[in-house]
Structure 1
Amino acid sequence: MIKKTLYFGNPAYLSLRNAQLVIKLPEVENNNTLPEAIKRQSEVTKPIEDLGVVVLDNKQITITSGAMEALLENNCALITCDSKSMPVGLMLPLYGNTTQNERFREQLAASLPLKKQLWQQTIQMKINNQAAVLSICTKEESKCMHIWANDVRSGDPDNMEARAAAYYWKTLFADLNGFTRDREGIPPNNLLNYGYAILRAIVARGLVTSGLLPTLGIHHHNRYNAYCLADDIMEPYRPFVDKLVFDLYCQYGEDVSLTKDIKAALLSIPTLEVRINKKRTPLMIAVGQTTASLYKCFSGELRRIIYPEF
């Protein structure tokens, strides 16, 4: 079953009752002129087990320790946002699998050649998915992208990823003067930042559920990054976010900002339809298959990570 994403952009009081997330509005709770019956009717409850991602985007949100504990015990990713409404924090459970210790040891024991091969597969799929996005959005085939994907060697020592990225962004937003992919750059970089943050949380959640450490990457190894493996595994998924952002850019124009409607569209990322193992499935379910296959690569059961494609 696909887990739900909840977004809170207004003041709210979140608590736990009978395995349900109870949502109350402070303006209703603190209004002494309203009868208790109306206050009770204003409460909304959501089954904790149905939630996969919860986004907190208001400084006046209060959440109880019991609610946080229940969310984390059910492998829900809890995202907090800054004053600019950009995701700034991610809370995940410390354990998400019954054989956690065994899986940690197998991940830690992964050889360098294996990690280089897994990175090669990851970049090849990312570039091929980027080529598919260009074909869909620009109606033109980018044969060079497929050539670069085939030329990726173990560990990508030639940095084909960067070469493909430079061509990809220049071609995807060719009509947007001066566009480069930069966190602080012009729109729709703001949408890409937001979408990637949601995607990162989904992938990190999937890794924890599969009993893996999101910190220890197969390629990324920044000492200050707690989610190196999530950043690795999300690479082939980024083009699905890119396609969504491109559609929003075409709909709202080059000065698109993070409005309520835009955020609602980006929060649909977990339910985006992707093709994996020759079947159509929501992105969040696909991530679970990808992270499960990654563990099997570490354990020696598989030789390839299962990634989605268009």
Structure 2
Amino acid sequence: MIKRTIYIGNPSYLKLKQKQLVVQEPETKEIKGTVPIEDIALLMLDHYQITISNQLLIKLQGNNVAVISCDEHHLPFGMMLPMYGHSEYSERIKHQLAASEPLKKQLWKQTVEQKIENQKALLDLNNKVSEPLAEYKLNVKSGDSSNREGIAAQYYWKHLFENFSRERFGEEPNNLLNFGYAVLRSIVARALVSSGMLPVLGIFHRNKYNAYCLADDIMEPYRPFVDKLVYNYVVSNNYYELNKDTKAHILTIATQDVFIDGVVRPLFVAVTTTTSSLYKCFTGDLRQIKYPELD
């Protein structure tokens, strides 16, 4: 079953009733809607006047729902996940901790290669020159010691959008990309917890201030799917404002079809396939992470 992404952007009181998320208007007490907890994957709270009951929070955590809160700029700021999401949690963490540096370098090489491949595919889809990316992919070394990822990114962004520089606080459509990546990061972090791993222990990212290093690693080959969604939206609408309608469109990233492991799956499901394969790489049962292919 495809899980749902729920966005709350108005003053609301959220509570639990009969295993349902109930959305209530604070002043009139009118019920605006209900959603079964088991159907939710991600809950985004984007208003300062949202009140949520602790009983509901506990139920959401028990069902491995990622709860995201947004800041004054209406961008994802914080995320709440359960402390563990798998019955073999202790055993799985042991394998994650025991992963050798050579293994992690090989896994990062695979990750960068697939990211570049997906970037190339998106350029091809939009009739952009992509040949240099094929060369960059062929020259990725263990651990990406020659930084092919960064070099490929410079070329990719220069040719995907006109006169565009990819910066966290840069000009539009950086705002749309930032929002999409934050949602994607939440989806990946949730899947890692569900697969019994710690999102903080990365295979490449090691920033001591980053609580989601592994999520930032594993989401890399998925980023071009966000880029595709944003690019198509901008080209079709010539619109860059990050409002409720734009957010609703970008939040559909969870249900976008992707090709992975020989079949087409919603991205939300595909991420779980990726995280499950990552754990098998840690145990030695697999040598290759299963990543999506953009087409």
TM-score, length-normalised on structure 1? 0.93
Picking from 181, 185, 191, the partner of 2:170 is: 185
Identity, % of aligned positions: 54
Whole-angstrom CA distance in 2 between matches of 1:131 and 1:103: 34
SS in 2 for 1:265: helix
- Map 1:108-119 onto structure 2 (within 5 A): 108-119=97-108
Determine which structure has more spread, i.e. the larger CA radius of gyration: 1
Picking from 149, 155, 158, the partner of 1:167 is: 155
Gapped runs of 5+ residues in structure 2? Answer: none
- Map 1:205-216 onto structure 2 (within 5 A): 205-216=190-201
| Cα deviation, residue 44, structure 1 | 2.1
Whole-angstrom CA distance in 2 between matches of 1:230 and 1:140: 29
| 1:145 alignment counterpart | 133
Picking from 102, 119, 123, the partner of 2:112 is: 123
| 2:207 alignment counterpart | 222
| 1:33 alignment counterpart | none
- Map 1:274-289 onto structure 2 (within 5 A): 274-289=258-273
| Cα deviation, residue 146, structure 1 | 1.1
TM-score, length-normalised on structure 2? 0.98
Letter in 1 for 2:199: P
| Cα deviation, residue 201, structure 1 | 0.1
- Cα deviation, 1:203-237, whole Å, max 9, x if unaligned, reads 00000000000000000000000000000000000
SS in 2 for 1:287: helix
| Cα deviation, residue 248, structure 1 | 1.4
Letter in 2 for 1:237: Y
Gapped runs of 5+ residues in structure 1? Answer: 30-38
RMSD: 0.9
| 1:78 alignment counterpart | 67
SS in 2 for 1:184: coil
Whole-angstrom CA distance in 2 between matches of 1:150 and 1:261: 40
Letter in 2 for 1:284: F
Whole-angstrom CA distance in 1 between matches of 2:248 and 2:82: 25
Whole-angstrom CA distance in 1 between matches of 2:245 and 2:37: 25
Picking from 189, 197, 219, the partner of 2:182 is: 197
- Map 1:290-301 onto structure 2 (within 5 A): 290-301=274-285
| Cα deviation, residue 252, structure 1 | 2.9
1:251 aligns with 2:232: no
Aligned length: 294
- Cα deviation, 1:63-91, whole Å, max 9, x if unaligned, reads 00010110111010000000110000011
| 1:239 alignment counterpart | 224
1:57 aligns with 2:46: yes
Whole-angstrom CA distance in 1 between matches of 2:116 and 2:166: 16
1:270 aligns with 2:254: yes
| Cα deviation, residue 141, structure 1 | 4.6
| Cα deviation, residue 23, structure 1 | 1.1
| Cα deviation, residue 43, structure 1 | 4.7
